[in-house]
Amino acid sequence: MNQLVSPTTQALKIYRQREGQMVLPITDLMFLRATGNYSWLHWKNGQRILLPRTLKYYEPQLPSGWFVRAHRNCIVNVRYIERIEFLYPDKGGLVHLHSGDVLPVSRRRWVAIKKIFQRLLLTDRYVQTGRA
């Protein structure tokens, strides 16, 4: 198994024994979710791929401006966040994606997620007004 993210092409190269090499655009990667020592990669088209690597392996390879660690078991592409929801001070929150998926946000990461989401909203609003 050899996975590699190329920042210049913004693609994720995955080699799977049955399918061979696949090159998938990072822009279509919505989130990664950990299951033990494996990671599920969830794509915009609904495809899910299970790979034998932890999130710790992928995190430094993903573009930091696009992906954020929301919880110990998930990394989210901020471009797919629809809204965030605060639960309780001792619980953290939730991230709601455009796809309908809901992911946990740990208490420790809540403030960072909130700031990123607010900055994303301001950027989108700024671009939509035509002042960009």
List, for residues 3-40, the tens digit of each pLDDT value.
444 444 588 777 776 777 888 888 999 999 999 999 99
Domain count, the chain: 1
Task: Report yes or no on whether pTM surpasses 0.85.
Answer: no
Torsion of CA 15, 17, 18, 22, to 10 degrees: 10
User: pLDDT digit string (tens) for 61-116?
Assistant: 888 888 999 999 999 999 999 999 998 777 889 999 999 999 999 999 998 899 98
CA dist 2 → 5, 10, 106 (Å): 10, 17, 30
CATH number at residue 79: 2.40.50.1020
Residue 117: give the domain boundaries: 3-128
